[in-house]
Structure 1
Amino acid sequence: MAIDPLINRLGQQFGELLPANLRGVRNELEDNLKIVLRDALARLDLLTRDEFDIQQTLLSRTRGKVEALEQQVKVLEAQLTALEDSLRTPRS
């Protein structure tokens, strides 16, 4: 969800909840609330959904590569152990 429509909706809902004697300053209060919300959200350093999805895809690929490398290491360790065993065993 885009941030601006959310902030606008929250500002509007806030304005609708104001008591009748504050309705005259409704637009000013809504605008100030929107500014405060944008500032607070900007300081949170949030990701967009697209950025999150991209990072999730990259993480998945990286995880696959790590798993493949782990398998290669196991094969190489087994080969090394077999080679070491064959060198230790006296030949007849």
Structure 2
Amino acid sequence: MFDPKKLEQIAKQIHDSMPQPVKELGADVEQKVRQVIQGQLNKLDVVSREEFDVQTQVLMRTREKLTQLEAKVAEMEKKLSDSDSGNV
């Protein structure tokens, strides 16, 4: 769901900002930080950028179809109205 490179970058920034004695604990700290960040991000109700883009395209196509259908309905209503006026 999330870009692993960005997650790595955030974990590294957090690791780099830690005091030297803590950093000396090694890769274990960085791995734990990465796990905590990933866990917290997974709890969020978010979608990936790819999924967002796909849904945006679906919405745009749906809007186009809706606009076309509205135009057809308006045209049919006009024809119906015109034919009803002619019969009066």
Q: What TM-score does the superposition give when structure 2 sets the normalisation length?
A: 0.82
**C-alpha separation in 2, matches of 1:17 and 1:26:** 14
Q: Does 1:56 align with 2:80?
A: no
Match of 1:70 in 2: 70
Structure of greater Rg: 1
| 1:51-88 deviation digits (Å, cap 9, x = unpaired) | 22221221111111000000001101111111221222
**Number of residue-to-residue matches in the alignment:** 87
Match of 2:33 in 1: 33
> Gaps spanning 5+ residues in structure 1: where?
none
**C-alpha separation in 2, matches of 1:67 and 1:85:** 27
Superposed displacement of residue 26, structure 1:
4.4
Identity %: 25
**C-alpha separation in 2, matches of 1:23 and 1:57:** 45
Pick 1 or 2: higher relative contact order, CA cutoff 8 A, min separation 6.
2
The residue identity in structure 1 corresponding to 2:69 is: L
Q: Partner of 1:66: helix, strand, or coil?
A: helix
Superposed displacement of residue 20, structure 1:
2.0
**C-alpha separation in 1, matches of 2:43 and 2:22:** 30
Q: Partner of 2:25: helix, strand, or coil?
A: helix
Superposition RMSD on alpha carbons, in Å? 1.7
Match of 2:81 in 1: 81
13-22 or 63-72: which moved more? 13-22
Does the aligned pair in 2 maintain the 1:15–1:27 contact within 8 Å?
A: no
